[in-house]
Structure 1
Amino acid sequence: MNAQPALCVVSYNTLNGGRDPDGSVHRLTDQVDMLTELEPDVVCLQEAKHWDKDGGETVNEVAAALKMEARLAPSASHGCHLVTLVRPPRVRFVRFYPDIAEGNFHHAVSRADLRVEGVHAVLRVLHTHFDPFDPGDRAAEARWLTQYGDRNDTLLVGDLNTEAPGDPEPETWDWLPATQYSNNRIQHPDGSYGNLDKTAMSALLTAGFIDPAAALQLQFARTAGHWRDGDRGHRSDYILPSKHLSWQVQTYTVIDTPRTRSAADHLPVVAHLHRTR
């Protein structure tokens, strides 16, 4: 029997920082309520737009509401900052690096070295948001991270804007405007388009990162695609342990409910991990 309770990790893209175009924060309020109910130990939030304003007021407010400690990683594009939160005293930051790729990502990739209560080894959480526009850029971003795939201490968390090998291909392309084919599809040398470009995820998995949904033989569950009529359900959001991580994923869940569908264009992904050694 495991001496420690499972470690709960959540990845969630908030969509424009939880704010609507009119500035209202009802979605953010609902998001914080939903996260509170999950009782997470580690939370990785993407698109924390405007959260850096006024000395990080929103970061501090969200952290206080969740009873967690937060670190912000500024995004290089569109103000889509990353926020990593941990719940003391069980989990604490040892070190935090806002951008380990030195500005080479479309958004950013942060690294949090965490100490889990009762565990000597540090848990390293890489938090990122891959380029939504260019499969080539996503592949390049993945290459930055493949060095971590074979480690025994790393979780890769975030919105990777790519689907995984084995995820279903679209039956038609009616859902996607032709102007967005280059964002999502393989482009052949002659300029024609093929299937979805999954190169970035393929590189990460080949490097050693594990897709818990595949490892646990779970049925396909979308993490995005519910927000707009005519869109298709697809995966974009992941919690990927490195090959030899000393924490094993027990459960891996996408929270797909009417409430989460109305709160953002992505759905929360939740992993419960237990210590194996």
Structure 2
Amino acid sequence: MTPDVLVVASWNIQKNGRAPVDGRDHPPRPHEILAAYEPDVVFRQELTGAGAHGKHALYAEAHAVGGLIAFMGEEREGRSTNPTGVMVTPRLFDIVAHTNEDLPWKQICRLAVRRKNRPGTLHLASAHLCHYDLGLRATEARRLTTYADHGRTVLIGMDANSYPHRASDEISDPIDWNTVEDPCHIQHRTVERDGRRVPNTGPSEILTGGAKPVFTDLAHHAAGALGQGQALTPTASLHRTDQGPRQRIDVQLGTPDLASALISFEVIDTADVQRWTDHALTIARYDLAAVDRILSTAR
């Protein structure tokens, strides 16, 4: 761990890494991949089964990644069985509050933390927007905007299950929906406008659009302000070929005040990552002293 850098990871590990995609169960395993980046904050999606047996799997992962404190949503009957979670290092943060936002399909795991012996609260949220309902995705995105209300400083890691609205800035190949083989995917990910099927970018527009956006897309900021074009590398699907070319659907967002503290943004889609999941791991690094200055006036 680097004392003056805050490392934030976000990762959708398919079905919580219960079995490797290629059937070859050998290191490095997901927690070992994560641990190599020494994260201070981890946003997790698809913590499938991690709540069983007193959350044994959740706590085992948090310990293995670096002695983190872990929180997760609940599996609810008739709803998604893939909860979200947030893990933080007690080396840097004290826990202020933990809640699970109980939305119709999947809960948002929400955490408030305070830097040790310093003022100001940082609000954290891990989200996995609904994969099948465009309207519900919009509702979930609007709910996330409320976390930044009253001038709060917020970081979010999520699988958006939808696309960035700044298509001209992306390095993903355009989607020709006429060539996409999976009909369910077309229904889940597109809207019809002027007689054409176009990608659903609603959540991105709600969260990071407009003249005064609520959040900054941190990969987009890294690509533009920091000249790190590879931050816009597509994140999913790393496996399926029937859903069109890979796209950037896994994002980290921050309130605009935090963008100035961003040092780098990295998309990890190595062969080791692809052995366990169809989503890339994203890593954001911040100047910790700059974060402390921001939080000193945060609510």
State the Cα deviation string for residues 65-108 of structure 1 (Å, max 9, x = none): 12111112114423101121111222232211122xxx324211
The structure that is helix-richer by fraction is 2
Identify the match of residue 205 of structure 1 among 198, 205, 208: 208
Contact kept? 1:19, 1:28, Cα under 8 Å:
no
State the Cα deviation string for residues 214-272 of structure 1 (Å, max 9, x = none): 22222430111211245421111111001234862211111121111112111111101
Contact kept? 2:123, 2:147, Cα under 8 Å:
no
Q: What corresponds to 1:81 in structure 2?
A: 83
Q: What corresponds to 2:269 in structure 1?
A: 256
Summarize the alignment of residues 142-221 of structure 1 with structure 2, pairs less than 5 Å apart.
142-149=141-148, 151-165=151-165, 166=167, 167=170, 168=172, 169-171=174-176, 173-188=178-193, 192-206=195-209, 207-216=213-222, 217=224, 218-219=229-230, 220-221=232-233
Q: What corresponds to 1:37 in structure 2?
A: 36
Contact kept? 2:180, 2:186, Cα under 8 Å:
no
Q: What corresponds to 1:95 in structure 2?
A: 97
Contact kept? 2:85, 2:109, Cα under 8 Å:
no
TM-score calculated relative to the size of structure 2: 0.81
Aligned residues between the structures: 269
Distance 1:36 1:155, change over 3 A: same
Percent identity, please: 22
Contact kept? 1:75, 1:82, Cα under 8 Å:
no
Contact kept? 1:27, 1:264, Cα under 8 Å:
no
Q: Which amino acid aligns with 1:205?
A: T
What secondary structure, in the 3-state scheme, does the structure 2 residue paired with 1:263 have? coil
Q: What corresponds to 2:296 in structure 1?
A: none
Q: Which amino acid aligns with 2:251?
A: Y
Whole-angstrom CA distance in 2 between matches of 1:88 and 1:38: 17
Stretches of structure 1 that go unaligned for 5 or more consecutive residues are none
Q: Which amino acid aligns with 1:136?
A: G
Whole-angstrom CA distance in 2 between matches of 1:5 and 1:21: 35
Q: Which amino acid aligns with 2:90?
A: P
Q: Which amino acid aligns with 1:157?
A: G
Task: Give the deviation of 1:28 after TM superposition.
Answer: 9.3
1:271 aligns with 2:284: yes
TM-score calculated relative to the size of structure 1: 0.87
Greater CA drift, 242-251 or 59-68 = 242-251
Task: Give the deviation of 1:20 after TM superposition.
Answer: 2.8
Contact kept? 1:109, 1:127, Cα under 8 Å:
yes
Distance 1:45 1:174, change over 3 A: same
Task: Give the deviation of 1:50 after TM superposition.
Answer: 0.8
Task: Give the deviation of 1:173 after TM superposition.
Answer: 3.8
Contact kept? 1:113, 1:125, Cα under 8 Å:
yes
Contact kept? 2:43, 2:125, Cα under 8 Å:
no
Distance 1:173 1:118, change over 3 A: farther
Task: Give the deviation of 1:27 after TM superposition.
Answer: 7.7
1:9 aligns with 2:4: no
Summarize the alignment of residues 46-57 of structure 1 with structure 2, pairs less than 5 Å apart.
46-57=45-56
